[in-house]
Chains A and B, each alone.
Chain A
Amino acid sequence: MTTQPNLAPPAAAKPRSRLYRMWDSDIFFSFRRSPVTIVAAIVAVLLIGAALLAPWIAPYNPFDPSSLNLMDGFTPPNSQSMMGNYFLMGSDHQGRDVFSTILYGSRVSLFVGVLATAFAMLIGISLGLTAGYVGGKTDAVIMRVADIQLSFPAILIALLIFGIARGIIPPSKQENMALWVLIIAIGLSNWAQFARTVRGATMVERQKDYVSAARIMGVHPLFILVRHVLPNVMAPVLVIATIGLALAIIEEATLSFLGVGVPPTQPSLGTLIRIGQQFLFSGEWWILFFPAITLILLALAVNLLGDWLRDALNPRLR
């Protein structure tokens, strides 16, 4: 076979600062070279930043009933209501500023998305590491469960978990716990992808001789898993986590759209779209349009970053 030219950099290169080395690394090189990725990163940072800073930059507090006025209702974008209030993206039926509800809504969407992904990652990585390292029956059982999970759409599993939670938790507490139920439901419906990837990578890594070397020295298996194997399986996990975040945000929006997601007191982007849908056909398009665009941009930006990350970490695909 043809051997790829092996260009090891000269070992005695001048030491540069860590920051420079990062900037100069292949990953950032591919980042600098991809305008789409740069735009996606900027969009993602803007959207996430705006969501985090919502209380400070939102012109109105849409959830303060005292500030709401039904007379403000249905104001078109970029105009003033009869009450003299200016609405950049218009207002909804209750007179809430759409721009402000989007800022707060993105906050809820991101909160759920990030925590759900983190939860899925935690389960997936621990099960994947265990399955890959221990092997045998443990592996077979874990992977069979993961297979089953993967073949059911996440939305169905999330719906089921949600339904179960609704049946178990007393109604009085449901509203307080809804957000957490949602996070757990989405997390539990997305762990399998992590588990599979981590398990595959772990099986490769544990065959490698640096693991054998550690075993010869009598290093504790847990230490081997955490210090040796885990850092080496993180690259694909990072890719899945990014794409998983986009999926989780979409999943949350879908559940909220179906009316089984976040409570109405904390509307997410999906809830806003559900509300907006009622007015789409009567001409008040902005109530749906702006939350929908925000959701799409957010998911698209995160997906684009994930896509770039996958290509950058796996140079064979280029």
Chain B
Amino acid sequence: MAPTPNGKVAAVKKKINLWAWFWILLGALYFLVPLYGTFDFSLREKRGVLSLLAYQNVLADPRFRDSFTYSALMALATIVVGLLLIVPTAYWVHLRLPQVRPLIEFITLMPFVVPAIVLVFGLIRIYSGPPLALTNSDPLTNFLLMCGYVILSMPYTYRSVDTGLRAIDVRTLTEAAQSLGAGWFTILFRIIFPNIRAALLSGAFLTFAIVIGEFTLASLLGRPAFGPYLVYMGNNRAYEPAALAIISLALTWAAIGLIQLLSHGRPGQEQVGGVH
């Protein structure tokens, strides 16, 4: 029996599906095999048996808790300051100054061009003496570090916020709110922020991930952050760094999961009605 045209289409579809699965599998293996290797290695601290000893050592180490807590708090401060700086800027650029968007984009890309080591030496050189001596006390050095983190996370935060603002009609929503009597503060906090929530969360968690793993700024400013701790462990221990890598990965996935959880299930993102 000769194959029908429909039969041919089905065969081609099946072939395409098989190739798709092949590439997905290959990609998954590329990521999962090294991960499995790291995980497997992290379980072999006790000779001859699989154990969670490396994880216990890491979690029992007060320097792990302290450095992680310090970096998490720094990340939260960076997120708040970064968003307060970038959201109004990006909003104003969208609303009133679209012609300066290329300039702003260029500025936000600077951290990719200027290495962190150059940035931190610049910060130390300018802020270690009068008139703004910020490196003389821990709180002020923390502040300086946080400012550095804001700069480092700027490309990611700005792009997230910019994408969010592009997805909504900023100008019309602003004008609608204005015509109803709203001022700038109300517009920003009750209209703009809630409608780019997913973008804000995405920017926030990217910032979190950057700050948690950052080494150069924290190390050269002499702050007890998680990044220097990771390097210290890597230099001095065998199995614990592997356990730390897995823990960091788990925390990253938890952060991504949190983004999904917090930005999911809110109406207002899709049109379901036709014209009635």
**A and B associate:** no
- Interfacial residues, chain B to chain A (CB-CB below 8 A): none
- Interfacial residues, chain A to chain B (CB-CB below 8 A): none
